[in-house]
Amino acid sequence: MRVAFGGYEAWRTGAPAPLSIETSLPAGFDDFFRTYRYLVRPGEEYWLIVRAYHEGGAPLLPGEFARLSREAEPQLTEFAPIYFKTRERLRAVNLDRWLGLHHMYPEFGEGWSTLRREALCYIVTTRDLESVGRLLSMFDIDIPVERHWTKERPGGKPAAILEIANECERKPSEILFVDDHPEHLRDVSSTGASLFWASWGFWPDTDPEACDGYERLGNIAELLTKPVFVER
């Protein structure tokens, strides 16, 4: 939230990103941000939320958000390096405070120790490698760095799934992919991987229709009970 707002201000004014993670936010921004956070995929799309707030806070809908993202591609491309630089600055000033802004979902944490014993796990994310490494270390999630597919690798999540399948000498259809965003699931569907919706993530459980066609997981341990997992 603070990275998004600070980065937008740096983009808008041309001034350096704020150094303090405690920089005050305008009234109502935190609620507005939390309401629409689930729509964002890559970090540069936070630009759309902050802009919408500055323009009066009109509601954002999933289909409209995707259209706005396409229309604002030049601005998002310009904003992306500023956004990640803002994150780096805030993290460098107070790493512990930055880490403290993140929390483990119990729906994941409680099943992770079992899953890691039963499956070869990769993380495929639009976050940057440095942030992923810091967070995994804090949460004691021991996925080796060579299995971190972050924003630095080209091609997005579908390309990652195909590369992982090749690396593991498996068919893409033998990969089980879990994500909380229906657009990521839709993108990866082209690979033939088995798809599971992480219902505990950012996408609201009040809008399950958006995830129709993808098997719902109430927690990560449920993956171990699925026939498609047992068979493989």
* Extents of the domains making up the chain: 2-100, 106-230
The pLDDT of residue 15? 80
**Interior angle at CA 139, CA 167 and CA 218, nearest 5:** 75
Backbone φ, ψ for residue 154 (5° rounding): -75, 160
pLDDT tens, 108-157? 998 998 898 888 999 999 999 999 999 999 999 999 999 999 989 988 99
Within 8 A by CB and 6+ apart from 21, the residues are 2, 90, 93, 94, 97, 98, 101
Burial class (CB in 10 A: 0-12, 13-18, 19+), 50: buried
Query: Which residue would you say has higher pLDDT here, 201 or 19?
Result: 201
Fold type of domain 106-230: Rossmann fold (3.40.50)
The pLDDT of residue 97? 85
d(CA 72, CA 11): 14
Q: Assess whether pLDDT exceeds 60 at residue 232.
A: no
Q: What is the DSSP letter of 27?
A: T
Within 8 A by CB and 6+ apart from 130, the residues are 88, 91
The pLDDT of residue 205? 65
Percent of the chain's residues with pLDDT above 90 = 58
pLDDT tens, 164-179? 999 999 999 999 999 9
pLDDT tens, 182-230? 889 999 999 999 999 999 988 876 666 677 788 899 999 999 887 766 5
Most confident of 46-55, 94-103, 108-117, 150-159: 46-55
Length of the chain, please? Answer: 232
Percent of the chain's residues with pLDDT above 70 = 93
Most confident of 11-20, 93-102, 186-195: 186-195
- 194: enclosing H helix or E strand: strand 194-198
Q: How far is residue 15 from each of residues 2, 56, 98, 118, measured CA to CA in Å?
A: 16, 23, 22, 49
